[in-house]
A and B are shown apart, each in its own frame.
Chain A
Amino acid sequence: MNFLLDYFTSLNPMNFLTALPGNIAQGVIWGIMALGLFITFKLLNFADLTVDGSFATGGAVTAMMLLAGAPAWVAFLVAFAAGILAGLVTGLLHTLLGIPDILAGILTQIALFSININIMGQANRTISASKYTLMLSLRDVYTAIVVALCIVAVLIALMYWYFGTEQGSVIRATGSNPKMATAQGTNIGFYKIVALALSNGIVAMSGSMMSQYQGFADINMGRGAIVIGLAAIIIGQVLGEAIFRKHFNFIVRLIFVLVGGIIYYLVIGIILWLKMPTDDLKLFTAVIVAIFLAVPYLRGKSKNSFKKLAKTNKKESAAQEVEKDA
């Protein structure tokens, strides 16, 4: 018992609060990554594992551009372009060579691991905020949050617009019913490539922001990105549907992907505050995602259950028996 008491008295709420802004900043940056993933995972119905690689590519390109003396915003745009190229490769592997979606993504991802090392010349590069003018940095967390929120606001507005246009509609149709899209004259291969390129471009942008925020780019910074992105999308969807119900329209869906990212990092913040070992973070991530995936399913099942119906019917017939006897 003493052990438990010691544990709880050792937890200082102030620690959680001081870490809070940092968690929010990271949540917003990963939220951008999740918005990129949203395009392939939700709209195109394509499980794209390229993102683990393209996120790190964004960071690697940004670091090298900054080291070469380019302004941060140029590095940011070049990272976007590099991400587009990564998506293009996955798209071509899938459409031209007929490689299934998951495999095409994995191939690009594994290739990017080598490419990222080649870009950086080593496994990691430091870009110190004191030497370079960065777009955002953890040295000034509040400004970082504002900058990241501005970027995400522009991104959400652009995505809302694009997926409402003729091109965007066709991408959504391609993801949802490729047979119909083809019958309506859509070259679905072309639009899959467009969507994959856009998606990975956005993911690389998020990687660029993350490397600037943390002050370094690392070959492993994208490891598990897909799971964090999925976590954000799914947490956002579950919460958004619970709150907005029928009014959960496209713009709200996009905003809730961002919200999902922030919430994910708040949960991670709480876990760290509870002094759980950092090595176990990936395990917790998996548990969080599993819970959010399972909740809507289990809720639906409890509303619509064979067992429950059998029980109710049994009870009712028992009650009728009793009535008859009486």
Chain B
Amino acid sequence: MLEIKNVYKTFNAGTVNEKVALSGLNLTLNEGDFCTVIGGNGAGKSTMLNAIAGVWPVDSGMIMINGKDVSGLPEYKRAPFLGRVFQDPMMGTVADMSIEENLAIAARRGKRKTLAWGVSKTERNVYREMLAEFDLGLEDRLSSKVGLLSGGQRQAITLLMATIQKPQLLLLDEHTAALDPKTAAKVLELSDKIISEHKLTTLMITHNMHDAIVHGNRLIMMNNGRIIYDEAEEAKMNLKTSDLLKKFSEASGGQELDNDRMLLSE
């Protein structure tokens, strides 16, 4: 499904700010894999997702989606294959457009933009039903500006936008990190539901080790721009937070886990 082969990316090469972000990254996801990603600050988790999405070209290496090499495609040309939800709830939606207009743009992702009306009547009804399933009271506010919604509601809308056309790969970049615990749980529950319903191949970054173990069928840990630990299915389900902490210090050569958030959020 997704194949990342020996990918390198260095930011600000040749300056004092030089930062090797991805260093020989290899990853293969199977169809339907729901893979959680953990790792310390600067481990390269978000960089990996940005490399897949094509925010910038990687220095070397290959990224394949469904057997097609996408590493030479710009971000907007990869968008049809991908559904993305960002950490910042403001990022995934247009604040001064209505909920239905936002959804309509997502429903046309990767399609030729015509001079037909931006939101049709039939799709409006479809959106209403989809939002009703979310149970957030948004189904009656289709024409409200997204900017009026809370962060959690905006993130739920972004999640719906990412999956309104079944993406070949869903990328969730700490999409619950900016939300309060209750809302975060709700959005995570929604994500789980959508992913299992549509059998979406998913990469989800989280800083919460418990979430990383409980959700999905596979877990990878990153450090210094590559994957240092990869566990799937039953072995993954039986993991404990303490195991992960131990693995982390082992793999990183006794280096301490520098991310307090990870330690605290069990």
Q: Which of A154-209 contact B (CB under 8 A)?
A: 162, 164-170, 172-173, 176-177, 179-188
Of chain A, the residue at the smallest CB distance from B78 is A185
Contact B117–A184 (Cβ < 8 Å)? no
- Complex formed: what's the CA distance from A170 to B104 in Å? 10
Q: Which residues of B contact A169 (CB under 8 A)?
A: 97, 101, 104-105, 118-119
Contact B118–A183 (Cβ < 8 Å)? no
Option from A165, A173, A176, A184 in Cβ contact (under 8 Å) with B79: A184
Count of interface residues, chain B, beta-carbon cutoff 8 Å: 33
Of chain B, the residue at the smallest CB distance from A172 is B97
Q: How large is the interface on A (under 10, 10 to 19, 20 to 34, 35 or more residues)?
A: 20 to 34
Contact A183–B114 (Cβ < 8 Å)? no
Counting CB contacts under 8 A, is B169 at the interface? no
Option from B76, B94, B109 in Cβ contact (under 8 Å) with A176: B94
Tell me whether chain A's interface is mostly helix, strand or loop, or mixed: helix
- Complex formed: what's the CA distance from A162 to B115 in Å? 7
Contact B114–A165 (Cβ < 8 Å)? yes
Contact A185–B109 (Cβ < 8 Å)? yes
Tell me whether chain B's interface is mostly helix, strand or loop, or mixed: loop
Chain B 104-118 against A: per-residue CB contact (8 Å), 1 yes, 0 no?
111011110111111
Counting CB contacts under 8 A, is B161 at the interface? yes
A184 with B106, Cβ < 8 A, contacts A173-B97, A177-B95 known: yes
Of chain B, the residue at the smallest CB distance from A168 is B118
Q: Which residues of B contact A173 (CB under 8 A)?
A: 94, 97, 105
Q: Which of B81-129 contact A (CB under 8 A)?
A: 82, 84, 86, 90-97, 101, 104-106, 108-111, 113-119
Q: Which residues of B contact A176 (CB under 8 A)?
A: 94-97
Q: Which residues of B contact A162 (CB under 8 A)?
A: 115
Which of A162, A169, A173, A180 is the most central at the interface, judged by chain B CB atoms within 10 Å of its CB?
A180
Q: Which A residues have a C-beta under 8 Å from some C-beta of B?
A: 162, 164-170, 172-173, 176-177, 179-188
Which 6 residue pairs spanning A and B have beta carbons closest together? A185-B79, A169-B118, A166-B113, A185-B110, A185-B109, A177-B94
